[in-house]
Amino acid sequence: MTRLLYAMLIGVVGAGVVHAIVLLLLPNYSERDAWARLSANADFYRFTRMSGEGAPPVIRGVDPFFDAVACRFDLSEGVVHVQAAGHVPFWSVSVYDRRGQNIYSLNDRAQTLGDLDLVLVTPAQMIELRKDVPKEFEKSVFVEADVGQGIVTVRSFVPDATWKKAVADYLDQARCAPR
């Protein structure tokens, strides 16, 4: 009997160890995370809808008043240029690492130049770019992200049905291209 109680005590301690291991490994091995869901829908450097009408959403928890797109990128293959032109009531951009941790975000009020124009770079690429900024990046906001692979999202507010098409068109022409 004492032996069984002793075993149970070891079991409880072991449960604590298993708890910690599962918790730390879960973000790395989740097959349902944002990255896995997006991979099933679109290749790298392609904006894809985070939620669709009728179809089950790719990314859960997107506000029904929002139309949103997400693009997977890999900075080890070069810098990423994110652009979208046009007028919509509100847009915001977020950069996530591969595990869905938010690294950087901004909204339309922050980018006073007008259209969305971001260049995602690693700190090392930034040093290279500073030496000679290419013409196409003259108006861009540079975002240093010390990640390899990641996700960039553009969300836009759809106040009512009359805005639906304009916002969808705006997001359809959004580009996320390697340079």
Partner 1 sequence: MFRIVLPVFVALAIAIAGGAWSVRYALDRGFGMETLTVGSWRAYPDLGTPNASAYARATVGRRGELPLGRAEGLAFLASSDDIGAALERNCTYRIAGEMPIARFWTLYAVDPSMTPLPPIGIRPAALQSSAVLHEADGAVAVTASPNPSQGNWLPLSGSGRMILVFGLYDTPIASSTEISRVVLPRVSKLGCE
- Dihedral in degrees, nearest 10, Cα atoms 70, 64, 162, 83: -20
- The angle formed by the CA atoms of residues 106, 110 and 112, to the nearest 5 degrees, is 140
Q: Exposed, middle or buried by CB within 10 Å (0-12, 13-18, 19+), for 17?
A: exposed
The pattern of x and - marking residues 54 through 83 that bind partner 1 according to CB under 8 A reads ---x-xxx-xxx----x-------------
Site for partner 1 in 20-59 (CB under 8 A): 21-24, 26-28, 30, 32-34, 36-37, 50, 57, 59
Options 121, 151, 167, 174; binder of partner 1; rule CB under 8 A:
151
- Phi and psi (nearest 5°) for 29? -120, 10
Q: Of the ranges 93-101, 119-127, 130-138, 171-179, which one interacts with partner 1 (CB under 8 A)?
A: 93-101
Closest distance to partner 1 from the beta carbon of 169 (Å): 21
